[in-house]
Structure 1
Amino acid sequence: MMKLKNKKAIVTGGSRGLGKATAIAFAKKGIDVAITGRDEEKLKKTVTEIKALGVNAFYEIFDVRNYKEVQVGIKNIISNLGTVDILVNNAGIAAIGSLNEMEVSVWEQIIQTNVLGMYYVTKEVLPYLIDKNKGDIINVASTAGLNGNPNISAYSASKFAVIGLSQSLMKEVRKNNIRVNTLTPSTIASDMTLELGMTDGNPDKVLQPEDFAQLIVAGLQLPRRAMLANASLWSTNP
């Protein structure tokens, strides 16, 4: 089992939901964590909770859709962490509506956040992992990226893209001892799904953010050979 204590991690969209649960799960394993987001109040609150677990934690405010902001933010994170071992690309948005009815601006925002945002952050973090010749990149996709469903065309398209991007990158950087894995959960009782009315959050019926965070931690502790050799999809279908 791989040891995680004293590793350094970046979690995008880390102020709430799955990102927050993952950051807290990392802290419980002794991992120093940098979280990113756009809501400073929520970021501050989450960092306080993480620090209470005895690790170093801080936040950077930037919109993943803005490449210049991402460049500055990642540089600041590396300056504070000293290095990086784990990147969790979690930041994402969704909206419900038919392709014809959804506003073009909303469709574009989903693609920009879920695809370009992931690309921007990964592009800025990857050189540090290549220099170390070791690291982990975990990209949060969805079962919506495996099968399209009505009224979520933009979200589904974005998650299909995430899976394709991840598989391509996995094959590019395997030689650098970097693992790239894609998570494809079904509905999680996150802030986003609750706000969209996709679930009532009943823990007896739907996966909780804390459960999913534990899956991420468990995957990181697998022998490196296993995850470097196998397919890059971890599914959590109920």
Structure 2
Amino acid sequence: MQSITGKTALITGAGRGIGRALAHAFAREGVHVALMGRTRANVENVENELSEFDVKTVSVQADVSDGEEVKEAVQSVKDALGEIDILVNNAGIGKFGRFLDLSEDDWRSVWDVNVMGIYHVIQAVLPEMIERQAGEIVNISSTSGLRGTEGSSAYSASKFAVHGLTESLMREMRRENIRVQAISPSKVITDFASEHNLSDGTEDREHFMQAEDLADVVISQLKLHPRMFVKNAELWATNPK
């Protein structure tokens, strides 16, 4: 196992849900945290929550679908915290419904955030990782990126693309001592699940995955010896009720 204390992590979609849980998990490990999100108030709130930890933090506003915004935000992070050791691409949106009911705009918005968003952030962070011959890239995907389900054509297509991107980049970056991996959870009880009717509020929440559970997996995999990694971790609730 390796220590990640003292490293710097950039988390996208960091204002709530999985991103917020990741921020707290990193801070508990002594990792300096950069929070990127589309809504400034949300990431600033999380930054305030992290004040109890003895780590450096910075929050930046950016829509990951906008490449120029991402470049400026990443530069602000570097100015404040220095080199980025760990990148977690967590920002994502969903549009759900029958294929013929989803518009072209629905498809483009999902693709622009879930796929091009990852592209933009990696483009801004990766060159320095290659230069240092060290780095960690974690892409938060979904089991919907491994098998399609009814009503999720746009979302599933974007998450299948995330897996393809992750696999290809992983094979390129291994020789640069950069680990690239995907985390693929089934349903996680978050605001995202509620907003898209993926959680009806009647289930026993303790029998479903929580954002903190996923964050624990990310931390444990980053602590693995640098000579190996888990390419894709598929996460399921043990006994959902």
- Bin for the TM-score computed over the shorter chain: over 0.9
Match of 2:212 among 210, 213, 218: 210
The Cα offsets for residues 117-165 of structure 1, whole Å up to 9 and x where unpaired, read as 0011011100111111011000011000000111111100000000000
Aligned-partner Cα distance in 2 for 1:175–1:111: 29
By how many angstroms is 1:102 displaced? 1.3
Within 5 A, what are the aligned runs for 1:90-129? 90-129=90-129
Q: Spell out structure 1 runs of 4+ moving beyond 6 A.
A: none
Amino acid at match of 2:104: V
By how many angstroms is 1:80 displaced? 1.0
2:15–2:42 CA contact under 8 A, matched in 1: yes
2:130–2:176 CA contact under 8 A, matched in 1: yes
By how many angstroms is 1:237 displaced? 2.0
**Where does residue 55 of structure 2 map in the other structure?**
55
**Where does residue 8 of structure 1 map in the other structure?**
8
By how many angstroms is 1:103 displaced? 2.2
**Where does residue 33 of structure 1 map in the other structure?**
33
Aligned-partner Cα distance in 2 for 1:69–1:204: 38
By how many angstroms is 1:105 displaced? 1.0
**Where does residue 224 of structure 2 map in the other structure?**
222
Aligned-partner Cα distance in 2 for 1:45–1:125: 25
The secondary structure found in structure 1 opposite 2:147 is coil
Aligned-partner Cα distance in 2 for 1:122–1:202: 37
Amino acid at match of 1:30: G
Amino acid at match of 2:15: S
**Where does residue 162 of structure 2 map in the other structure?**
162
By how many angstroms is 1:85 displaced? 0.6
By how many angstroms is 1:170 displaced? 0.4
**Where does residue 188 of structure 1 map in the other structure?**
188
Aligned-partner Cα distance in 1 for 2:43–2:75: 18
Aligned-partner Cα distance in 1 for 2:10–2:143: 24
Within 5 A, what are the aligned runs for 1:65-84? 65-84=65-84
**Where does residue 175 of structure 2 map in the other structure?**
175
Aligned-partner Cα distance in 2 for 1:63–1:222: 31
Amino acid at match of 1:207: M
Matched positions, count: 235
Aligned-partner Cα distance in 2 for 1:140–1:114: 10
Q: Report the TM-score, using the length of structure 2 for normalisation.
A: 0.95
Uncovered stretches (5+) of structure 2, i.e. residues with no partner = none
Deviates more, 1:27-36 or 1:104-113: 104-113
Uncovered stretches (5+) of structure 1, i.e. residues with no partner = none
By how many angstroms is 1:68 displaced? 0.8
The secondary structure found in structure 2 opposite 1:9 is strand
2:32–2:56 CA contact under 8 A, matched in 1: yes
Aligned-partner Cα distance in 2 for 1:101–1:90: 27
Q: Report the TM-score, using the length of structure 1 for normalisation.
A: 0.96
The secondary structure found in structure 2 opposite 1:181 is strand
The secondary structure found in structure 2 opposite 1:108 is helix
By how many angstroms is 1:51 displaced? 2.2
Deviates more, 1:46-55 or 1:112-121: 46-55
Deviates more, 1:207-216 or 1:47-56: 47-56
The Cα offsets for residues 148-195 of structure 1, whole Å up to 9 and x where unpaired, read as 111111100000000000000001011110000001110101211121
Aligned-partner Cα distance in 2 for 1:131–1:172: 14
Amino acid at match of 1:218: S
